[in-house]
């Protein structure tokens, strides 16, 4: 009986959880909205994003420099200044069906805004859920948690495009949004982060 239940759970996991390729966050590193995940861009692959959030325009790019190693860049253009951020992230443990993934990294290496180190774990759950949690310094010194939910299995791929709902909690702020597939590899991003409403496009290949 236990074996049958375990097999059914595994099938449910693989059938329901479909997050696709790692997408760049607003900060440039692969992640959700503001927060990183334990994912990286695959070796010799890349992800790019453009965002508009009230008074700031953001362009970013991530590249898989080596297996499990990602470097990324974000340009924030404000009304009176521009900020360039360089980031790096490395996967210590890859996620499996039974164990979470673990990655460490540094956002804003040169300290143009606030250099922040972090360690983050990510784990897919049944029914299209995936949870993330981490801690670090700078922007992440109080710890953070995030949850994503793929709703496509509930509505059917032929009825509604693949869509992921996102919510984050960090430093007493709650960010939320959605990521919707337009065509393969290209996603529309909508939401509210750091008290600003944003819209953007991300592409990962």
Phi, psi of 62, rounded to the nearest 5 degrees: -125, 150
Q: What does the pLDDT read at residue 101?
A: 97
Please name the residue that has the structure tokens 């919707």. 180
pLDDT above 70 as % of the chain: 85
Average pLDDT, the chain: 87
Q: E strands of 78-194, at which residues?
A: 82-93, 101-107, 116-124, 129-136, 144-150, 163-170, 173-183, 186-193
Q: Which residues contact 204 (CB under 8 A, 6 or more apart)?
A: 20, 21, 22, 23, 24, 41, 45, 46, 47, 48, 185
Question: Per-residue pLDDT tens for 5-45?
Answer: 444 444 444 444 445 558 899 999 999 999 999 999 999 99
Mean local confidence (pLDDT), 103-109: 97
Residue ranges and CATH numbers for the domains of the chain are 2-204 (2.40.160.40)
Question: Per-residue pLDDT tens for 123-145?
Answer: 999 988 999 999 999 999 999 99
| 4 pLDDT higher than 50 | no
Question: Per-residue pLDDT tens for 53-67?
Answer: 888 999 999 999 999
pLDDT band at residue 194, thresholds of 50, 70 and 90?
confident
Burial class for 200, CB neighbours closer than 10 Å (0-12, 13-18, 19+): buried
Please name the residue that has the structure tokens 């949004």. 177
Question: Per-residue pLDDT tens for 67-86?
Answer: 999 999 999 998 888 999 99
Q: Which residues contact 63 (CB under 8 A, 6 or more apart)?
A: 41, 45, 46, 70, 71, 72
pLDDT band at residue 160, thresholds of 50, 70 and 90?
low
Q: Which residues contact 8 (CB under 8 A, 6 or more apart)?
A: none
């Amino acid at each position: 009986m236990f074996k049958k239940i375990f097999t059914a759970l595994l099938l449910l996991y693989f059938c329901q959880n479909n997050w696709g390729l790692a997408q760049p966050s607003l900060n440039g590193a692969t992640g959700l909205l503001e927060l990183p995940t334990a994912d990286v861009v695959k070796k010799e692959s890349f992800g790019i994003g453009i965002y508009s959030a009230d008074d700031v325009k953001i362009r970013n790019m991530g590249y898989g420099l080596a297996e499990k190693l990602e470097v990324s860049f974000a340009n924030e253009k404000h009304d009176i200044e521009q900020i360039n951020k360089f980031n790096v992230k490395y996967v210590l443990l890859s996620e499996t069906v039974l164990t979470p993934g673990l990655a460490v990294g540094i956002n804003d290496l040169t300290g143009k805004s606030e250099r922040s180190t972090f360690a983050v774990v990510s784990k897919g759950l049944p029914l299209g859920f995936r949870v993330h949690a981490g801690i670090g310094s700078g922007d992440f010194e109080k710890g953070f948690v995030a949850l994503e939910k793929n709703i496509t299995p509930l509505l059917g791929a032929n009825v509604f495009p693949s869509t992921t709902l996102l919510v984050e909690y960090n430093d007493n702020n709650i960010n939320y949004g959605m990521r919707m597939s337009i065509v393969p590899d290209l996603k529309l991003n909508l939401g509210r982060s750091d008290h600003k409403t944003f819209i953007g496009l991300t592409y990962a290949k």
